[in-house]
Amino acid sequence: MSKYDRIGHGYARTRRPDPHITAAVQAPLAGMTSVVNVGAGAGSYEPVQTMLAVEPSAVMIDQRPPGAAPATQASAEAIPLRDAAADAAMAVLTVHHWDDLEAGIGELRRIARRRIVVLAPDPAVTARYWLMHEYLPQLASTDPSAAVPLDRLVAALYGAVRTSVTPVPVPHDCTDGFAAAFWRRPEAYLDPAVRAGMSLFANADPDVVTAGLDQLAQDLHSGAWRRRHADLLALDELDTGLRLLVTDLVPSPHPVVIEVVPPGSRAGRLALREYVSDVASRFYGRPASHAEVDAALLEEIPMTGEPTYIELGVTDADAARTFYGALLGWHPSGSSGPGQVDTPALSVGIHDQDPKAWFEVFFAVDDLDASLAQVTSLGGTVEGEIHVEDGFGRWCECTDDQGVRFGLRQQHT
């Protein structure tokens, strides 16, 4: 029997999808023509293009609204679909209930062609939530969400083209009654009907829950809770630990950058082809062709924040090349001028006869103009104008709020 066959009765009344969270979850699913919702529950947060809901609990399936996508009773670890069955797979507030996280994520990767979207709590944040920290610390050992640390979830998704992790703030009037939804409405935790929709309380010791909630009731009556949490009462939303993980399974539009030294060598390209073929065989069920790998090599778009270029100012460039070549294996670039050298990860431009020695690192950004505006808003300084160079992209030099110099580079325009 599924856990939610036992605790899921009336779930649809207390766990209604919140519009703010709906917008966050469905945004990365826009453009996906077919979606499979895994651990679907009563159907919250499903986009209209959902082709199938996968849910182990018959009680939850019975609560799905009229007109919802068809549902099949199955577990995340054994999804009854062929490989690459849908554009995307989604899993909302469910992975901490799976018996085998890695097997479940493996199934998401197997059935999705393009993208995986997961909404999950970060235990490192939820453990600090006032309800747990002040009134029910003993529940930390029985809280299902604590079973899946965020780094374990990210690791299970590792190897895809790209995975982003974004906080999803919870509004003060959240309509989805999960454990942290009532961060500004503490009285709600005193209502057994509200608690019935929270897995946090499903395996908790009733005596522990009673003692903790009795203390909460006393603090609400005396005003102690409001005095202690006056800052929360002024907020419209709060980061309670919800994290949205979006994993791209195909190289679009920001493919992974894999660089091999020497970059243009036959050995390097063969090694890269072998690596990509291995990744493709795991994700798509077939090896990538050499033509596909070559196409990927032409789309080297680094992710935001990644160092992409270094400038080095020295009085003697030849001496610097000799020094760093012997120490670190830097070698002259095969595709640029005499001032360029290649490292195992990126290129370095060496400035000769510079009056003082210095290093400057350029970091990748997706939107140079927006990033420069953010530099200024954070107290940094934009140094000079935006430069545009064929083969290098748009770039500009900056200093941070402590005077450290760095560069920003938008490689592809």
Residue 409 φ then ψ, to 5°: -135, 125
255: confidence class by pLDDT, cuts 50, 70, 90: very low
Distance CA 353, CA 120 (A): 54
Going by DSSP bridges, is the β-strand pair 35-38/86-92 parallel, antiparallel, or unpaired? parallel
Predicted pLDDT at 336:
46
Residue spans per domain, the chain: 3-248, 251-299, 300-410
* Tens-place pLDDT, residues 19-31: 999 999 999 999 8
Q: Which amino acid is at 352?
A: D
Q: Where are the beta strands (DSSP E) in 324-380?
A: 331-332, 340-342, 347-351, 358-364
Residues 300-410, CATH architecture: Roll (3.10)
Residue 164, pLDDT > 50, answer yes
User: Residue 255, class by beta-carbon neighbours within 10 Å (0-12 exposed, 13-18 middle, 19+ buried)?
Assistant: buried
User: Residue 21, class by beta-carbon neighbours within 10 Å (0-12 exposed, 13-18 middle, 19+ buried)?
Assistant: buried
Give the residue-averaged pLDDT of 107-127.
92
Angle between helices 290-297 and 266-284 (to 10 degrees): 110
Q: Name the token pair of 218.
A: 């006393």
Residue 173 makes CB contacts below 8 A (sequence gap 6+) with none
Residue 273 makes CB contacts below 8 A (sequence gap 6+) with 288, 290, 293
Predicted pLDDT at 267:
42
The whole-model pTM stands at 0.60
- 3-248, CATH topology level: Rossmann fold (3.40.50)
* Tens-place pLDDT, residues 332-341: 654 444 567 7
Give the residue-averaged pLDDT of 241-256.
71
Q: Give the angle 178-182-183 at the CA atoms, nearest 5°.
A: 120
Q: Name the token pair of 384.
A: 């000079």
Higher pLDDT, 175 or 283: 175
Q: Name the token pair of 375.
A: 């530099």
Give the residue-averaged pLDDT of 19-47.
93
